[in-house]
Structure 1
């Protein structure tokens, strides 16, 4: 097990690289831009989006801002009671907002399949799929399908969800003649996976488990998944893009597994490096809605601009191996 010092060093290292740069870059936005600012003037009327994990953290703000721009938002949440309260708040703030709440437990393949089946049965279109939900640096645990929990929740659940809803997205794009967008919320933590990147043969190895590196592994998988998906969609000539992003360091309930030592360490530097929730949701909303991103696919974004991920994500063989590995795991269930 890692010590508090080791954990804080690992997680704060990427934060130190993200000291806010107030100057605007290619997109005209920066780390200080909010979700409302990056979508200002965008009309999302007629679009339908699924946002996973929309009942807490940046998922709430993502859902609210999409609804504010006229998008019909389907909140895919584990706790439907909490989701209903968020929906109520959004409708109060955005009169006329179209928001629905559906149950989804990403760590359970059965739940993912049930959600996808119910969504398709409802006959809803799907323009935007925002794979936002996640857990961070939890102790070693197995999912309901006996797969390491962070890999199962952050990557595999979203992989299966995307796969099951892809035909719906393709049909929607074709019928509406509008670009579909798949957005994977990753993290700069993708730089701090295990040395081999993805431990295909040791996914469930508790003896060498590192909560931080397992989180980094799952976030690396988010980027690799988006890149391989973008490649396949391009080859198929489908008008759907797939991108990944780092939302920024935000103090949300994702930090719940960290101890008081780390909370204090983060708090000490928070005013310099940690974003507010409206700023944290900005890059997600930018990639999902802003016209500047039209036709852009297979990219990694940070601070509402294209950024440079770790070199390993360019490994197309690794991305394909992860795709095949994930397909085998989900098909076996």
Structure 2
């Protein structure tokens, strides 16, 4: 039982860190792409993977921010193999450019962590005129995965090591629109709900992983695809615009919910390199 920081059958609790759940694992020789690695789950996942010997390629929208993250990781882990590449998941052109540059480098690819995303912004269209959350959280990663899939299959075949694709979804996938994904109304400004649109994009992450996993199994590819709910971040607070804030002070809500939150990097990192 990981609630209240009590250890479960695995020996870990909600307070266990990504380092702790991956302790003793040697992942040297693996190459991973982590999107959205400039902060939060992506940053800690990239750091811990590098700690275990993985060559980490961080896909980050702001290249200068990416270089700072790289410097931070290398300062802590001098032997770390880390690269930062520009990647804006809200732009299909940027996704294509990133994938082209990566594949042209001739690098192998064992792990793809589709983590980057935006959460509950006001209604906005992407550069490709698609609702921003759906464009960034799902479509960008969908295209990226497709463009890198042959490289992952090739790497898995040559190295005899299972490739892993991880879509970082959310429990919010249960709170999509009542009809599921509004394919015919993605850009409906009038019917837009920030939270529900976010849930829609996270539902797309789950469905993408499920269908991709089925195809990979049918093809006999040594690559798996999974989606996961990383858990609620202990450091993440509720935005003041949330409706219940007028009934209960948010600092009290946050304090009460801290006991139900866990370290979100835990399942992401474990899922990538655990045998």
TM-score by length of 2: 0.92
Alignment gaps of 5+ in structure 1: 1-17, 292-333
| 1:249–1:275 contact (8 Å) kept in structure 2 | no
User: Residue 90 of structure 2 corresponds to which residue in structure 1?
Assistant: 107
How far, CA to CA, are the matches of 2:181 and 2:154 in structure 1? 33
Q: What is the Cα deviation at residue 234 of structure 1? A: 0.4
3-state SS of 2:185 partner? coil
1:138 maps to 2:121: yes
User: Residue 160 of structure 2 corresponds to which residue in structure 1?
Assistant: 177
Q: What is the Cα deviation at residue 267 of structure 1? A: 3.5
Q: Which has the higher contact order (CA 8 A, sep 6+)?
A: 1
Backbone CA RMSD of aligned residues: 2.4
Q: Give the paired residue count.
A: 273
Correspondence list, 1:29-48, <5 A: 29-48=12-31
Correspondence list, 1:42-61, <5 A: 42-61=25-44
1:203-229, Cα deviation, whole Å (9 max, x unpaired) = 111110000000000011111111111
| 1:250–1:275 contact (8 Å) kept in structure 2 | no
TM-score by length of 1: 0.77
How far, CA to CA, are the matches of 1:138 and 1:19 in structure 2? 31
3-state SS of 1:196 partner? coil
How far, CA to CA, are the matches of 1:232 and 1:254 in structure 2? 38
User: Residue 268 of structure 2 corresponds to which residue in structure 1?
Assistant: 284
1:202 maps to 2:192: no
Correspondence list, 1:217-296, <5 A: 217-250=200-233, 259=241, 266-274=250-258, 279-291=263-275
1:234-275, Cα deviation, whole Å (9 max, x unpaired) = 0001111111111112266897x7648859955323344348
3-state SS of 2:203 partner? helix
Correspondence list, 1:75-90, <5 A: 75-90=58-73
Alignment gaps of 5+ in structure 2: none
CA 1:202–1:92: 2 relative to 1, 3 Å: same
How far, CA to CA, are the matches of 1:237 and 1:144 in structure 2? 37
How far, CA to CA, are the matches of 2:264 and 2:167 in structure 1? 14
How far, CA to CA, are the matches of 1:36 and 1:149 in structure 2? 33
| 1:154–1:219 contact (8 Å) kept in structure 2 | yes
Task: Give the counterpart of 1:147 among 123, 126, 130.
Answer: 130
